[in-house]
Structure 1
Amino acid sequence: MGRSGHRDGLRLHRWPGPRRRRHRALLLRPLLRLVHLRRLPAAEGPGPPVIRRLRVAAVVAALALAASACESGRAADGTVDLPDPVVATGAASSVDYVALGDSFSAGPFIGTMRADPQGCARSKDNYPAFVADWLDVATYTDVTCSAATTSDLYQRMVMFDGNTTRPQLDAVTAETDLVTLGMGGNDFGIYDSLIQCQRGLAATCPVAQLRVDARKVAGRIRQAVRRVLAVAPGAEVLVVGYPDILPTEGTCGAVGVPAGVLEPVTQVAGLLNDSLRRGAQAAGAAYVDVAAGSEGHDVCAKGRAWVNGPRLRVGVAAPFHPKINGMRAVAVEVFREVTGDEPDEVTEYAEPDPDAVVLNAS
């Protein structure tokens, strides 16, 4: 601990001792890049509502720093000696963030699971948690749930433990500012069928039907985004795509089947992401392309892999699902889409402010 390093092409910072009370100071530095101290931008103006809210936080932070500087006086050369940004801890953003999605958003078996509810197998280190941490949001509601389909946005879902949980859309309110939506792969049984195909079970690999079903997902995503915006018309909605799980060329022992068997699987996976993109764009949402960034980090990439192999590894990830490094990578893409900037630090673990985390009722 106490060392900075690089992992998977991302700058990773390990924090010594307790991993709390760093968030506002970290957020302040990238926010200050948005503000020129001689000419502060208007709080309102061009840009999505989330960006405007972050600008407001930046303006407040800059004014607080300037006021502190005035009180401390000027140096002999006439320059202002600004205090360390850590003192301006009251400049948190006012963004209310809701995460919707399936297991690729929930992160089953990555580190510690949340227990609200337990049956969703939702990790404390999934990409929504990293996003909430790095944006230092005012509130963070994560209702992602493993095995969820788009239908579970609107109806109670039966979880792995046999209990049910509320419709995911219940978490969205008129005050919601930011929504990430990562699902669609479980609709029509697409993901389960792809696993059968990947295992080389040709008789159970209905490629033609899978292609049809993957294209149908666009309409469901379009409807989902519109339903979100009907409740929260001012929200920024980001549809998050799926990463590359299997290599686009060749194969490896972790896959266990010839490359020719994988070709239709990767084609259908590509069609699914295309459907997510089309559905998002048709409803006025942004699409976060995870597949492009994950190329070369598939299950065959060994030490560079962002996804787990075919075995369940408790504490690491479910089979053929993102590991914590994959979740970090997705969070970076989401952060870029929201802010137009890079995270100041890509942290080892997700630590959203406990006061911001909304616990879910079943």
Structure 2
Amino acid sequence: MVRRMLVVLAAALLVLSLAPPAQAAQGEVYVALGDSAASGPLIPNQIGPDYGCWRSDRNYAHLTAQAIGASVLRDRTCSGAETDDLYNSQSTDLGDVPPQLDAVGPDTTLVTVQIGANDLGLTDFIEDCLNLLPPPVGDACNDDYVVGGQDKWRVGTDALRSRLLTLVSDIRARAPQARIFMVGYATYAPPNGCYPRVPIIRADANYIRATLMYFNQMLAEQAAAAGVGFIDLQTPSADHSPCASSGQRWIEPYVPTSPAVPFHPNARGMRGFATAVTAAVTSVL
């Protein structure tokens, strides 16, 4: 009996010695695509080789890759990116960078993509609504974007729907085995805003909030239509908008108090986003 057990144990040890390490077998090849909401401009440390992308080694892609033990991370997120820049070279202040989709291949097992806000110019829209003086001296901005009874931002948002479905299809064609997740955008304005701490008057703050909620809803709907995951960053960041205290905010206001671009995530925000992204990508294996 003892001799038989030793033979069995020896055989088992031989099998284990020939098997690949568990980490290698389960290691993800993770490709992160997206714009400055994903890249983390000015958050230390900014890394190359594409310095014009203003990409941080503490953005949510890097933190998620570390949390899930990814064997490879190809972070191609780039400040200023639009959907076209996933297919074509993007011009930055420090030179052109390759199309983001070039990083996606047959070995890719996980893709996150946060894109679309720059197609509409939503960050510029938020900054356009800054108002150092409240009415009647200062003017509200929300009525500037409704022309002929049509809301410019909703029309533009709806125009992105088919493009996002095509994008998911193109990612699938390049990486048939990959799990794909669209990532939404954070909360940039709480109900009624917080004038004058963030100098956007109540009506405009509510308009910005409604516009971004509609945009995130569109992303979630298109993710569902394409059969891919959607990662909600709006909900977990609800109490961490630019109106929150400096120790609580995830998105910096017009005058940042942490290293970050105005109305972009800070390091604390990236950690919060990484928690949400990690939870989502590990729930679908």
Q: Aligning the two structures, in what range does the TM-score lie when normalised by the shorter sequence?
A: 0.7 to 0.9
Shift of residue 311 of structure 1? 2.3
Shift of residue 325 of structure 1? 1.1
* Aligned residue among 68, 75, 80 for 1:135: 68
Tell whether the 8 Å contact from 1:149 to 1:183 is kept in structure 2 after alignment: yes
Match of residue 109 from structure 2: 177
Shift of residue 246 of structure 1? 1.4
* Aligned residue among 141, 150, 166 for 2:83: 150
Shift of residue 191 of structure 1? 2.8
The residue type paired with residue 217 of structure 2 is D
* Aligned residue among 182, 190, 211 for 1:268: 211
1:309 corresponds to 2:241: no
Shift of residue 203 of structure 1? 8.2
The more displaced of 173-182 and 209-218 is 209-218
Match of residue 206 from structure 1: 145
Tell whether the 8 Å contact from 2:29 to 2:107 is kept in structure 1 after alignment: yes
- Structure 1 segment 312-323 matched on structure 2, within 5 A: 316-323=259-266
Shift of residue 312 of structure 1? 5.1
- Structure 1 segment 102-121 matched on structure 2, within 5 A: 102-121=35-54
Separation (CA, whole Å) in 1 of partners of 2:111 and 2:210: 28
Separation (CA, whole Å) in 2 of partners of 1:258 and 1:291: 21
- Structure 1 segment 221-232 matched on structure 2, within 5 A: 221-232=164-175
Match of residue 217 from structure 1: 160
The residue type paired with residue 248 of structure 2 is R
Tell whether the 8 Å contact from 2:60 to 2:273 is kept in structure 1 after alignment: yes
1:258 corresponds to 2:222: no
Match of residue 231 from structure 2: 288
- Secondary structure of the residue aligned to 2:46 is coil
Unpaired runs of at least 5, structure 2? 1-11, 132-138
Separation (CA, whole Å) in 2 of partners of 1:293 and 1:187: 24
User: Structure 1 residues 203, 215: closer, same or farther in 2, change over 3 A?
Assistant: closer
Where does structure 1 differ by over 6 angstroms across 4 or more consecutive aligned residues?
none
Q: Let me know the Cα RMSD of the aligned residues.
A: 2.3
User: Structure 1 residues 155, 339: closer, same or farther in 2, change over 3 A?
Assistant: same
User: Structure 1 residues 241, 325: closer, same or farther in 2, change over 3 A?
Assistant: same
Deviations along 1:254-275, one digit per CA (max 9) or x if unpaired, are 3113211211111111111111
Separation (CA, whole Å) in 1 of partners of 2:183 and 2:142: 31
Percent of pairs with identical residues: 33
Separation (CA, whole Å) in 1 of partners of 2:109 and 2:197: 41
* Aligned residue among 259, 274, 284 for 1:331: 274
Separation (CA, whole Å) in 1 of partners of 2:92 and 2:237: 29
The number of residues matched between the two structures is 255
Tell whether the 8 Å contact from 1:217 to 1:272 is kept in structure 2 after alignment: no
Shift of residue 94 of structure 1? 2.1
Shift of residue 114 of structure 1? 0.7
Match of residue 7 from structure 2: none
Match of residue 187 from structure 1: 119
Separation (CA, whole Å) in 2 of partners of 1:119 and 1:201: 34
Separation (CA, whole Å) in 2 of partners of 1:311 and 1:340: 37
Match of residue 8 from structure 2: none
Separation (CA, whole Å) in 1 of partners of 2:48 and 2:143: 35
The more displaced of 98-107 and 181-190 is 181-190
Deviations along 1:183-240, one digit per CA (max 9) or x if unpaired, are 1100132332232134466289414111211222222222211110011111000111
- Secondary structure of the residue aligned to 2:244 is helix
Separation (CA, whole Å) in 1 of partners of 2:172 and 2:200: 43
Unpaired runs of at least 5, structure 1? 1-62, 68-88, 342-362
Separation (CA, whole Å) in 2 of partners of 1:222 and 1:336: 24
